[in-house]
Amino acid sequence: MIFINGEAVDTGEHRTVLQAALANGFYVPHFCWHPELSIVGNCRVCLVEQEGRGVGIACNMPVVDGMRIETDSETVRAQRKAMLQFILLNHPVDCGICDKAGECTLQDYHYAYNGEPALSHDPKLKSTKLYPLSSRILLDNERCILCSRCVRFTREVSGSDVLGIEYRGDSALVRPAEGRTLDDDPYSDNVIDICPVGALLSRSFLHQARVWYLEATPSVCPRCARGCTVQLWHRKPEWHLKALDPSRNTRILRVTPLENPRVNGPWICNRGRDLGEVLERPRAEQALQKGAGVTMMEAIEATRALIAESTRGIALVSSWASNEEVRAFQSALGQSFTSFVKPDRLPEEGEMVEDELLIRADKNPNTRAAQALFGSDAPEIPEDADLILVWGEGVDFAQLPRGARIVFLGSWLLPEVGHADVFIPLSIQTERRGHYTNFEGVVSAFEPCQPRPEGVIDAETLFPLLAAPGGARGRA
């Protein structure tokens, strides 16, 4: 037990004063310290005063039973203010155009612990602006406070060891290793999140929106079987743009990790950051019968008739479907089809297939839950199949039996849409709520953040409508 600001604190398993303070509600400012990275103690902002020992940095101060700590004494405030003056000595006053505004701890700490103009009247030192660390990340060295979080991330978490600090003193710069870029690191964008200032900038988000215009919706990354929990950032309704293109008000502007110790911790891979590329592809919003537009009810009735006529129906179940959707299919249509789970997506050329950190070789989010109901991946489809229900992507229609009727349930504008006997457009993950079960059996929830287009239907609603009157018929 130790005493912080006069209160007895049970330190538990925490080994440093900073950890113990944060865990017990005593906030101590910090730049370089991060719970998932090694301790370096180079920002000198997490100052506290220990009775009988003076002022020291809390991130590297071991807990000793009975010690007495002050986090906001006069001495601490004076030295913390001096450190902030030093850090801000050459920092540009460009908060008005900085993407980190609203999330910058340097702004917050200056307001809380300093709040005064710089003491120096000398011109600020100039450094490189918008230095390309990769095709995804720019570095503003004038804003960099050399906390080294980004360097330690590439060494200790992603293992790419791309970044380092070269030169010394006021000439020191974060730079990639010779002949390399952060493109070599599939987790590189995490350094943008952990940068405490606006030094590391996402090219895709640069000058797109202020964070206070945005809200984050909790979701699950569907790009592999890990099922990382994420935040999808989009414009708040009260801050919608009066623009000609309404999609600018609903598009995903950025994706960040939603910390989950059971799944992904505080990290996600770069493929997860690019989720908008998958979820914002051109949509199919019109039900079709033999390529001609029909109403949703006409498509449902045509599908119901095909199911009633079929004696050898095969269903290829989507591994991107939610737990709720696969259960709805099993309940309504499980007896009408011989069902198999298929991969909707396979690894793409140049993509990291699998590693020891997060990325899984299975590029589908809900394979485990789907296979628990319908068995393993589909074998070769029998030639005597007379009806094939294709749910989701990943099926080459040219490989299906020639005489079989095809019902296609999908969301994207693909060539197969017009080739099916019946096509029914479905909603996507960002338009409904649900759950995925990852490869380890951990269930994670996602929430809607975009309106569902008129003309599409939720699969969970569709399947009971497709069942024959009186319930699904048995198979001979």
Query: Per the domain annotation, does 29 fall within a domain?
Result: yes
Q: Give the domain-ending residue among 33, 59, 87.
A: 87
Strand order in the sheet with 137-139: 131-132, 137-139, 200-202
Q: Which residues of the chain have pLDDT under 70?
A: 377-379, 468-476
Which residue pairs from 415-418 have beta carbons closer than 8 angstroms and sit at least 24 positions apart in sequence? 416/390, 417/284, 417/288, 418/288, 418/291
DSSP letter, residue 331: H
CA 364 distance to own-chain centroid = 15
Q: Is residue 427 part of a domain?
A: yes
User: Is the residue at 456 inside a domain?
Assistant: yes
Domain assignment present for 145: no
Q: Which residue has the tokens 């599908």?
A: 303
CA angle 428, 433, 436 (to 5 degrees): 85
Residue 135 forms part of a structural domain: no
| CATH at residue 292 | 3.40.50.740
Query: Is 299 a member of any domain?
Result: yes
Tell me the residue type at 233: W
User: 22 Cβ partners below 8 Å, 6+ apart?
Assistant: 28
Question: For residue 404, what are the contacts with CB-CB under 8 A and spacing of at least 6?
Answer: 314, 385, 386, 387, 388
Q: Which pLDDT belongs to residue 243?
A: 74
Question: What pLDDT is stored for residue 378 in this prediction?
Answer: 61
d(CA 191, CA 328): 41
* Closest by Cα among 381, 378, 389 to 334: 389
Report which secondary-structure segment, H or E, holds 235: strand 229-235
Domain that residue 399 falls in: 288-466
Residue with tokens 């090694």: 38
Residue 429 lies in a domain: yes
Q: Are 287 and 296 in contact (CB under 8 A)?
A: yes
Nearest Cα residue to 151 out of 195, 205, 100: 195
CATH, residue 10 = 3.10.20.740
Number of domains comprising the chain: 2
Cα(408)–Cα(303) distance, integer angstroms: 10
Domain assignment of residue 161, yes or no: no
The 10s digit of each residue's pLDDT in 424-442 is 999 999 999 999 999 999 9
Residue 441: left (phi > 0), alpha (psi -120 to 50), or beta?
Answer: left
Q: Report the distance separating Cα 381 and Cα 383, nearest Å.
A: 6
Residue where a domain stops, chosen among 64, 87, 110 = 87
The residue from 40, 66, 87 where one domain ends is 87
